Amino acid sequence: MPTTVEDLRRFKHERRRFVMLTAYDCLLARAFDEAGVPLILVGDTLGIFALGHETTIPVTMDDMVHHCRAVSRSVGDALVVGDLPFGSYHESLAQGIHNAVRLVKEGGVAMVKLEGPEHELIEAISSKGVPVMGHLGLTPQSFHAMGGHRVQARTEAAVAELVDAALRLEAAGACSMVIEGVPTEAARRVTEAVDVPTIGIGAGPHCDGQVLVGPEMLGLSTGRRPKFAKPYADLATAAVVAAKSFADDVDSGSYPDAEHSYDWAIKAG
């Protein structure tokens, strides 16, 4: 059965832990959907994991619509969430509403996600019938303002601000919220304070759900990983081995063999 916004609230009330994974193309989206993943996020992290940028900041609305459309047309049961990228909602409420509607109408998503304490914008988007997922704590679009990817809410005052921001997001109409890069205790307090589900990433075990970046979870990414990015496979190594094996077979002449060739007789005329 397709996952709905109401299912997310039910998951929290039933204390049913759930997952969300990011995907940027039809192949990963189909695999995650087949695995029963209830939420698939087309994150602006596609800038890093699909487009080769160092941060999420260069990602455009056209990028997001393109990838959201690929994922949305490829799943059956998962609820697809699309990120509003940096610069797509900062100028005005009208700009944010327009781009949120665009992700739904053109990208085919069922929910949009945006970073920071954007209470007015969440209320405005929600009033147009578009479900919204908030995002607090470490917000990657604020990479430069935060001085890089640093753990947030490390003091009592900062934790109190985080809880207040979460309550305000909920009051504005957020259906759920990502809590990223905060101490375990801070995430626990937020999760207990709000009635909507929290989804943690680098926020400890007390959130209602957990999210990982799909390519990191699959071990497809290379280089330094965040502490929380646990790989459940090593597909990067598998891909290298497979490519080398293919190259060796071609070099030796063992590929293509009869099994992988069309040895049909050519008819005269």
Q: Residues 92, 113: contact at Cβ < 8 Å? A: no
Instruction: Quote the Cα angle for 87-121-163, to 5°.
Output: 105
The answer to whether residue 198 is domain-embedded is yes
- The reply to whether 258 falls in a domain is no
Q: What is the pLDDT of residue 144?
A: 44
Environment class of 269 (CB within 10 Å of its CB; exposed 0-12, middle 13-18, buried 19+): exposed
* Structural domain contains residue 226: yes
Confirm whether 127 is domain-assigned.
Answer: yes
What H or E segment, with its residue span, contains residue 166? helix 156-172
Residue type at 10? R
Domain presence at residue 264: no
How many other CB atoms are there within 10 angstroms of residue 130's CB atom?
20
Write out the chain's pLDDT in tens, 269 residues. Answer: 899 999 999 999 999 999 999 999 999 999 999 999 999 999 999 999 999 999 999 999 999 999 999 999 999 999 999 999 999 999 999 999 999 999 999 999 999 999 999 999 999 999 999 999 999 999 877 544 444 467 887 899 999 999 999 999 999 999 999 999 999 999 999 999 999 999 999 999 999 999 999 999 999 988 788 889 999 999 999 999 999 999 999 999 999 999 999 988 888 87
In angstroms, the CA 34 to CA 217 distance is: 16
Per-residue exposure over 84-100, b if at least 16 CB sit within 10 Å of its own CB, e if not = bbbebbeeeeebbbebb
- Cα 62 from Cα 106, distance rounded (Å): 10
pLDDT of residue 263: 87
**Does the residue 90 lie in any domain?**
yes
Contact 131, 112 (CB under 8 A): yes
* Residue 37 covered by a domain: yes
Q: What is the pLDDT of residue 149?
A: 60
- pLDDT in the model for residue 140: 75
- Here the CATH number for the domain that contains residue 19 is 3.20.20.60
Q: Which domain holds residue 81?
A: 5-234
Contact assessment for residue 213 and residue 43, using Cβ atoms and an 8 Å cutoff? yes
- Longest pairwise C-alpha distance within the chain: 85
* The total number of structural domains that make up the chain: 1
| End-to-end Cα spacing for the chain | 55
From the candidates 115, 118, 170, 180, which is the catalytic residue?
180
Q: Is 156 a catalytic residue?
A: no
For residue 84, which amino acid is it?
L
Distance CA 33, CA 24 (A): 13
Burial class (CB in 10 A: 0-12, 13-18, 19+), 222: exposed
Q: Does residue 102 belong to any structural domain of this protein?
A: yes
pTM of the model: 0.94
